Structure 1
Amino acid sequence: MTDLADERWRLIRDDPREGETQMALEEIAAETALEDDVRTVRVYSWEPSTLSLGYRQDAETVDWKYCEHEEIGVTRRQTGGGGIYHDRHADISYSIVAPASEVPGDLMECYALFCEPILSALERMGIEADFANAEQPSIYQPSCYLRDINPAHDIVAPASAGTDAGKLSGNAQYRRRDVVIQHGSLNYDRAPERHVGVFEGDLEPTTFSDRVTSVRDEVGIDRNEAVETLADTLGEWCDASEGSWRDGELEAARELAGRKYGEDAWVRDRTVLEADGENS
């Protein structure tokens, strides 16, 4: 249990939602942390399947026809890095939201703190996982799982395999209104055709399979067990109470999703029409 457990936390075992709402909910959770003194940890999934682009990612790297044909939504995250394909089966996502004043100001120290429950959950699942112990070069920069592997925030397994270990989880942070938001993606299963199909270019699915591993590949446990293990471990880490989104939070998130995360201006150009009518 972390010292953060002295604060008020809620654990949300969230429903599957469309990508733009999932991203908007993180901003709403940030407002709740500041205004209502309630911090959030949650585990969630994506429905329909969604490609989340990194903040600075060029929209021209997306195979828009493939995404449309396969009914894969596209949104853009506030965090950097490459694009990630998410769905309700192969992906397990989480987020942690807390006031910046309560966590380390150093980025690497904050990653280490917030990834503690992620590594603990993987250990409970029976997976020998850890931060990568060496950098690995990028194979395909637009894809999160094929970018260079960074020991600061990329989790691999089995850890003892060194540079032969497969990437299992990517994690990223951003700060908004004095709040730190970390979110991450764990591979429950590999979906190589879709992970490479969402991008322009002639990537072979084996390029993804050779670089990436999954919970199912490592230990073969049921997905529901993996999800519950992750949620339970996050909750224990900060002594969170079981919680849910309030009606007002969901309403605000849907409005923000429609105004920002679901709009072409944001997804393709990182431009959003703010509530006061000014572009940012």
Structure 2
Amino acid sequence: MPGLAQGRTVVVTGAGRGLGRAHALAFAAEGADVVVNDLGVGLDGAPAAGNPALDVVAEIRAAGGRAVAHGGDIATEEGAAGLVDTALRTFGRLDTLVNNAGFLRDRMLVNLDGDDWDAVLRVHLKGHFLPLRHAAAHWRAAAKAGRPVAARIVNTSSGAGLLGSVGQGNYSAAKAGILGLTLVAAAEFAGYGVQVNAIAPAARTRMTEGAIAAALPEPEDVSPLVVWLGSDASEGVTGQVFEAEGGRITVMQGWRPGPTARHGARWSPSGAGEAARELLARAEPPLPPYGVR
């Protein structure tokens, strides 16, 4: 029986370890050809020894699959363009992009300097935007040429992007930005035959090392949803955000209008404050950011 991703070429960024590695192996197991992107850096983005992308490619090939490594920096124009080009030159097509690459530089906001802010926003947010844009340009050209397109993009956000996380202001901002990017891309790319969704995974990886990681499930538990979203089987699903942890999948519903007050004239400051307090009393209380009890 053909796998769910049979005949598709899938690109996974940050696929040398953790969630990305699990996604790459899961797609290959379902019949996809896989481009395994990874810079091979440490948790903080600094250079590290080894080439994890080549290790994952070797695993896929040993299991009878087809894969190629890409070591470019996907937060640069050259690296993102090369990512798409690698898929097209090696396998002749590109069907699915899984944006997953990222790293951490955690600090409380008063101790967070501009370089650590910029570095995390760059790899997470720009590292989503540039591969997404280059892939979409390829699919738009195919659609305009009359070729059928059934493309998929799966972006990676986080509970930190949904709720915030104490000590991770840069990471939370980047992951929240990815949610906004997902919604815009889903709307703009629909006419080209491209579906765009996001996941907010929780799993035991290098980025969740420490006390929290011990209670988290394996990265492989998240990958089945990613494979489905990246396959033809997810037809009609776009602009959605899914939280995934172990055996739990939740559709996240985001910002929606809550209680509203209207005034026939301009509010006074005190009147606006009274109305705001009345509305808050009727509204659902927000969930606390991670790290707040």
Q: Taking structure 1 as the reference length, what is the TM-score of the superposition?
A: 0.26
Which has more strand, going by share of residues? 1
Per residue, is there more helix in 1 or in 2? 2
Name which one, 1 or 2, has greater alpha-carbon Rg.
2
Question: Taking structure 2 as the reference length, what is the TM-score of the superposition?
Answer: 0.25
